[in-house]
Structure 1
Amino acid sequence: MSSTLLIGSCDPFSGKSALVLGLARMLTRQGVPVRFGKPLATSLRLGRSGQDDGETRLIDDDVAFIGSMLGLAAANLLPSLDLQHPDTASDRLLAGSLSAGDRFTQLQQQLQAYPDGINLLEAAGSLSEGLLYGLSLSQLAQGLEAPVVLVHLWADSRSVEPLLQARSQLGERLAGVVLNAVNPEDVEEMNAEVVPAIERLGLPVFGVMPRSPLLRSVTVEELVERLGARVLCCPERLDLLVETLSIGAMNVNSAMEFFRRRRNMAVVTGADRTDIQLAALEASTQCLILTGVGEPLAQLISRAEELDVPVLKVDHDTLTTVEVIERAFGHVRLHESVKASYAMRLVEEHCRFERLLERLQLANGLAPQGRC
């Protein structure tokens, strides 16, 4: 019978999909069949099951993307049981039922049908999410009798407290944790001093991954949607990734010096600041975001088109625009191939899963892992 492993987190956008990508690639390279799904979807599309009966399968967007990156067959993408959405939440609340009902039984039967390999299931964003649907992390772990790996954002020693809360809920089901978004300069010290201390608390640590500006980045297209912006030029370049934010509110000489020290920027400045706008275009700028009244000069648009830099115009003031962009960093789905490839490399370089594989009874017969 196949094994089932739950990937969870204490907080949303902690890096679950990145961990799934890295772990799944390691397993497939070792010849282990992998199936992946999200019992509670957050973004859903309708997919065909490929069966003759025309059955409709609900495939979460994250599942579809990860499946495409790993080359998984459609049959290895597990359908979701429900969609986390205000409308479905309202229906559940008014119905007064907190159970997953027959759908959970169907999930169990589906997982038990596979004779070998591993079923990777990504749980909801936090320890409480999914309770309304009967599909929280602890409910899935108990109902499926499955171990859990938590990926957890680490800032300082206080970050261990949510992990202790998770251990109190999950008990022996908590197989271990991966610490994510650690200051790169602190990774060595974390491994030498902090990880042993965490393990003495009964929390096995499978890896410490450094913070990555690339994985926190956001596409220009995502900023267009969040800001309700007009695209004034280069609409074909909205796939560019923005890693940092700069505000062009200083004199042009100071701005040029500042811009030279930044990379892959979104630059927010007034529509009337042509000097700042032109200076930004000569730096590592992925998009210009213009606020305030008025329209940019034709000279600016012409230069932006030459350099393939999208120019956006928003109705918000500068402060509101900056707040929207800052909320976007680190809070978008991992749906770009360059980010996915980098995430797999981070997991490979910074995590070791020998103890996890032993628990899943997958270690026997596998080739030596090395770093994974």
Structure 2
Amino acid sequence: MTRNLVISGETLTGKTLVALAAAAKFKERGMTVSYFKPAGEKSYALSDASRAVDEDAVLMKEVLGMDADLGCICPVVRTMSSYDELIRIGHDELLQKILDCYEKISGASDVVIIEGTAAPWHLLHVGLSTPQIAARLGASVVCLVNFPDITAIDEVLLQRDFFRQHGIEEIGIVLNMVPPMLKGAIEGKIGKFLDDNGVHFCGVIYQHKELFSPTIRDILRALDGQMIVGEDNLDILIGEFMVGSMIPENALKWFRRAKNKAVITSGDRADLCHAAMETDTNLLILTGGLGPDFSTVARARELGVSVMMTDKDTYSTGQIVDDLIGSVNPEDHEKIEVVQRIVGEAINLDCLGF
């Protein structure tokens, strides 16, 4: 009998990272594994005029070697403008499409890993939120919650209550992006508190740059950019992104707040470029198709700071690079192995009886 595992969480909580790790753990046990994402997000980089595809579906199809069509691995692919269209189509037709594809995907699989929507409550307006799908498929559920500090424990309980409202009485929790300084509290009082309050504690993923930090190569590909300086530094990890748009007097104070960062600014802001390079900066991303002046290039080469140019505006660039945090490309086999190792050691699916 096929078992279903729903992986739920908001955007950037590591759902796909856990899916990769869980799939590897199941396969190590000799189980056949499939992946299903009932409702995903359109990837404009991977979609074409003939069809819209979800990037996580592309990744998992490749990793698991699935023969199924992408249109069935992720049957509902939406954009921000598609909400009206989903209402027009209606719950019954959308659900039937999802169930038909699930039957094809599950086949002879021992386990189907089902990735939830961008947030658990998304598609609630058409009755297809993550807990509603989980209840329909009789799935076990593990929720991912980013846990930067103790106050996030309230979000854990909110997730518990939301799933209970839709008939899912038991859920597992994986705490993600946890600062190492909280290790003692997590392994002590917090873990016990969760277990005592009807939540199965299934693991903790501590902040780890290899998991969540994109490389300059990833950024270059996503922005369709051009390297001006640092063509040999494409594998350097970027720990944080900052936008430079302030007056020069405030720039240094702002830029000193982050290490191993990329600074996004207009190519004609040489003052901000120089200020950024006086702090711990790995990359300058110059927007608007405006290249750096000679002094910026010379200083970047002197300090070993990479410089990239993109035609995209600063706002769009910021949105694109934010989506790279914790992302994995199908071609990046080394990153996939790192994810499967680190996350695999961090999670314990025995908490849900797997």
Distance 1:43 1:297 in 2: 37
Q: Give the alignment of 1:153-192 within 5 angstroms.
A: 153-154=146-147, 155-156=149-150, 157-172=153-168, 174-192=170-188
SS of corresponding position for 2:94: coil
**Residues 176, 204 of structure 2: 8 Å contact kept:** yes
* One of 157, 181, 194 as aligned partner of 1:198: 194
Q: 1:2 to 1:152 in 2, by over 3 A?
A: same
> Which residue in 2 is equivalent to 1:311?
308
Distance 1:275 1:296 in 2: 11
SS of corresponding position for 1:128: coil
Q: 1:220 to 1:273 in 2, by over 3 A?
A: same
> Which residue in 1 is equivalent to 2:37?
38
Distance 1:335 1:309 in 2: 22
Q: 1:46 to 1:159 in 2, by over 3 A?
A: closer
Partner amino acid for 2:116?
A
Q: Quote the offset at 1:231 in angstroms.
A: 4.5
**Residues 278, 300 of structure 1: 8 Å contact kept:** no
**Deviations 1:12-40 (CA, angstroms, capped at 9, x unpaired):** 22111111111111111221111112111
* One of 137, 150, 160 as aligned partner of 1:144: 137
Q: 1:101 to 1:137 in 2, by over 3 A?
A: closer
Q: Quote the offset at 1:58 in angstroms.
A: 6.9
**Deviations 1:142-164 (CA, angstroms, capped at 9, x unpaired):** 22111211111123233333233
**Residues 92, 98 of structure 1: 8 Å contact kept:** no
Distance 2:128 2:230 in 1: 40
Distance 1:343 1:158 in 2: 27
SS of corresponding position for 1:300: helix
Q: Give the alignment of 1:215-364 within 5 angstroms.
A: 215-218=211-214, 231=226, 233-234=228-229, 241-245=237-241, 249=248, 263-267=259-263, 270-272=269-271, 276=275, 279=278, 285-289=281-285, 296-301=292-297, 304=300, 307=304, 309-312=306-309, 325=318, 328-329=321-322, 332=325, 334-336=327-329, 337=332, 339-356=335-352, 358=353, 360=354
Q: 1:33 to 1:64 in 2, by over 3 A?
A: same
Partner amino acid for 1:266?
A
Partner amino acid for 2:154?
R
Distance 1:191 1:274 in 2: 43
> Which residue in 2 is equivalent to 1:84?
78
> Which residue in 2 is equivalent to 1:16?
15
Q: 1:182 to 1:278 in 2, by over 3 A?
A: closer
TM (norm. structure 1) is 0.72
SS of corresponding position for 1:193: helix
Alignment coverage as a number of residue pairs: 335
> Which residue in 2 is equivalent to 1:7?
7
Distance 2:277 2:119 in 1: 44
> Which residue in 2 is equivalent to 1:365?
none
Q: Which runs of 5+ in 2 are unaligned?
A: none
Distance 1:146 1:273 in 2: 51
SS of corresponding position for 1:334: coil
Identity of aligned residues (%): 22
Q: 1:164 to 1:266 in 2, by over 3 A?
A: same
**Residues 272, 296 of structure 1: 8 Å contact kept:** no
Distance 1:113 1:341 in 2: 27
TM (norm. structure 2) is 0.75
Question: Is 1:130 aligned to residue 103 of structure 2?
Answer: no
Q: Which runs of 5+ in 1 are unaligned?
A: 48-55, 361-372
Distance 1:132 1:119 in 2: 25
**Residues 5, 120 of structure 1: 8 Å contact kept:** yes
